[in-house]
Structure 1
Amino acid sequence: MKEPFLSALPIIEEIENAGFEAYFVGGSVRDYLLGKKIHDVDIATSAKPAELKTIFPKTVDVGIAHGTIIVIRQGQGFEVTTYRTEAEYKDYRRPESVSFVRHLEEDLKRRDFTMNAIAMDKTGSIVDPFEGQHALKNKVIATVGSADERFQEDALRLMRAIRFVSQLGFRLEMETEKAIEANAHLLLHISVERIMAEMAKMLEGPYKTEAFKILLRSGLYKYLPSLFNKREDILAALDYRISPLNENQIWLLFLYLSQTTSTDRELKKWKLPTKKIKALTRALDYLKLRLLHEWTAYELFKAGRETGVLVETVYETIQHRPVGSAAQRIYGHFDKLVIKARDQLAVTGNDLLVWAGEPGGPWVKELLEEIIKAVLNGDIPNDKQEIRRWVKACGLL
């Protein structure tokens, strides 16, 4: 056993010393069995929240109504949840109520997929009543029990299933995929924010090509807010090698494929942060320029290095070329720029005001841009006196 399990072992031991059961559960156990990196662990226990509070002196109530508290130990927080069963789901997302139980298997059978319904004790022994290890070995995503019931309980599981395909490269068990198709419309009951959280993880997955194919086959794409909800655009994207692309690069590719004239509107449907919307809109403008010609020094300067990499990677994808060297190429071009930021220019707006002897106005910003272009193009050196002579010779002052 390794970290972060080792740090959490004392929590399990203290719960057991108090006469209760406690196990590691969920994604951390799954990823441990897959040999993947584990970021944090979840603990399930037969102890009820009130009982946990008598065991640990410092706790935080984060979801106590559903049996979850944070136990603080040596400045580190550990999520501990009481075994529970769930009543009927009222809105395809949340149960009407939960009941605390004392048996681990009752807790595990409420979970979404068999690979997530595995528990591990403090010695590393596995409890696997629903053959989750078999699913991991065979790289299959299957629901615990009836797929229809699991998706009707929580429609976000429709997206989670496809997200796991993208992240793990597993295939969907036949009945599970059929149930996604049959219940796809239930995604309309889920908030955009929750769908977005799963979509972001899906777009970062190395097997996103297969995930998009399942979106198409199941018809789930029809119920996404925008951009990814058009069959022809997904088919067009699948003509490219999209697996190496990250989330922002996929967003930019689909903006390009959609030919939308209202980037803001389409991205706002996903409730993306304003900063991200502006960055993607700006990147789309530069992508359109890149499709017309090579980067100019001025365009790359204005775009900035990171936007340049984003645009160049998507450009190479559109050209059906490998994207591996795109970042290095942009970094190389950017490093050769005479100036890489506006404050590296040898003159300022105040210099222009002194030289002109006139009040400020839009002309100052416009002239600074002309000077930057000239310096980047090599028309003049980045020297204050040379710039002043050039400005006067050109009749710009």
Structure 2
Amino acid sequence: MSRVVSTAVDMINAVREAGWESWIVGGAVRDTLMKKEPADVDIVSSAGEAVWQKLFGRTVRVGRRHNTFLVFSGRIPFEVTPLKGATIEEDLSRRDFSCNAAAFDSTGALIDPFGAERAVAEKRLAAPGDPSVMFQQDKLRLLRMIRFEICLGFKADDLLERAFQVHAHSFFAVPERIQKELDTIRACISSSKLLGAYEQRAACLPESFRFSYDPQHREFVDYPLSALAWSLMLTDGDDKKGRELGFGRRLRKMTGKAADAANTYPWSNEALYYYGKEAAVAAAELLPEKNGAALTERRYQLLPIKHRRELALNGEDISLFAASDRKAVLEACERYVLQGGKNERESLLRYAKERQMEWEQRKH
């Protein structure tokens, strides 16, 4: 048993001594059965937040709908949710998959009424009850099923598979929850085979989950994808689709820029400078060029300037030009340096004045 699970056992024993029952549930139990270190520990308890706060100090409310809160042991957070039903077995019967429907009690003993240990050993996904009811209770579980298949290598049994096919088209969840699941899936996709596995499943879901941008040669894709490259694959810069999937405003904006970059490859120095490292590298993750992201980042680092403020001109220099010309002067100087010109004050001023003369002649 891992250190974090042992700490949780000590905590639920303290709650038990105060007259209340608690159990470790969910992913921590599954990970322990898989002989993995749990990333976090969830607890269900018959004790309310006030009891935990009295015993352990500060608590933080994180889920009003389910009265969920965090309690801390040192700096380690433990998520506590009220027991659903009269018994732990009733609580476990309401969980998504059999591999998650197990608990550890205050002695560390396994409570396994739905065959979690066997499901883990067989890498089998099944529901502890009727899978159709399970999906109807929370449609996000459809996406969680895909995550378990891709991230853990589990395979759905026949009943679960049939229920998935029936309910997948009517998927619905709040964007923030969708984004969290998608990001976990992204981090697990380490090959074109797993990318294809997601794509096959997503074909059953609403259109927003399907790829809008398809890399021409998936063997060249840099796995796992960055969050920006993943957003580019799913939305191809479509802001509305990005909102539906829960992507934040900044990520959506950068995805639009990465989409423009992907559509104009190969890039000149000026284009690479304009798109910036983040957007260009993300686009390069999906381009038909081996190690494209690393090569693009290296090329970006070799640019003579990476931002306008690196030009060897100050505010006084720019004030020598008419206000209406200043933006054009700066853009011209940027192009000059990116095309091999010297980034020196005298050279830039001379070049800018020459360009200004040309602009004046055109006006007349």
Please, which of 307, 311, 315 is the counterpart of residue 341 of structure 1? 307
Distance 2:11 2:5 in 1: 10
Q: Secondary structure at the match of 2:23?
A: strand
Q: What is the aligned counterpart of 2:330 among 361, 368, 376?
A: 368
TM-score (norm 2): 0.84
State the AA in 1 paired with 2:295: R
CA distance 1:332–1:195, change in 2 (3 Å)? closer
The aligned residue for residue 92 of structure 1 is: none
Q: Corresponding residue for 1:296?
A: 268
| Equivalent position of 1:240 in the other structure | 218
Deviation at 1:375, TM superposition (A): 0.7
In 1: Cα distance, 2:47 partner to 2:102 partner:
19
Give how far 1:58 is off. 4.3
* 2:171 counterpart letter in structure 1: L
The residue number in structure 2 matching 1:136 is: 120
TM-score (norm 1): 0.78
The answer to whether the 8 Å contact 1:367/1:396 transfers is no
Paired residue secondary structure (2:319)? helix
Contact residue 165 and residue 211 of structure 1 kept, 8 A: no
Change (3 A) 1:45 1:326: same
Deviations 1:246-293 (A, max 9, x none): 44323323445xxxxx83344344453221221111111111111xx3
Percent identity of paired positions between Structure 1 and Structure 2 = 30
Q: Give 1:116 deviation, angstroms.
A: 1.0
SS at match of 1:84: coil
| Residue 377 (1) aligns with residue 339 (2) | yes
Q: Does 1:205 align with 2:163?
A: no
CA deviation after TM superposition for structure 1 residue 158, in Å: 1.6
Q: 1:64 to 1:387 in 2, by over 3 A?
A: closer
* Residues 349 and 15 of structure 1: CA distance in aligned 2, closer, same or farther (over 3 Å): same
Cα distance in 2, alignment partners of residues 41 and 175 from structure 1 = 29
- Matching residue of 2:174: 191
- 2:8 match: 8
* 1:389 counterpart residue number: 350
Inter-CA distance 7–364: structure 2 relative to 1 (3 Å threshold): farther
User: How far apart are the structure 2 equivalents of 1:352 and 1:254?
Assistant: 43
- For residues 45 and 37 of structure 2, the distance between their equivalents in structure 1, rounded to whole angstroms, comes to 24
**Contact in 1 for aligned 2:313/2:345 (Cα 8 Å):** yes
- 1:351: how far off? 1.0
Q: What's the offset of the Cα at 1:150?
A: 0.9
Root mean square deviation, CA, Å: 3.0
Change (3 A) 1:123 1:253: same
Alignment of 1:145-224 (within 5 A): 145-188=129-172, 190-206=173-189, 207-216=194-203, 219=204, 221=205, 223-224=206-207
1:64-83 aligned at under 5 Å gives the runs 66=66, 68-74=68-74, 77-83=77-83
The code of the aligned residue for 1:215 comes to A
Post-superposition Cα deviations, 1:19-39, rounded to whole Å, max 9, x if no partner, equal 443322111222233344533
1:108 aligns with 2:92: yes
Task: Provide the secondary structure at the position in 2 that maps to 1:304.
Answer: helix
- In 1, distance between residues paired with 2:253 and 2:283? 14
Superposed displacement of residue 174, structure 1: 1.5
1:117-136 alignment to 2 at 5 Å? 117-121=101-105, 124-136=108-120
Secondary structure of the corresponding residue to residue 280 of structure 1: helix
Partner residue of 2:362? none
SS of 2:43's partner is strand
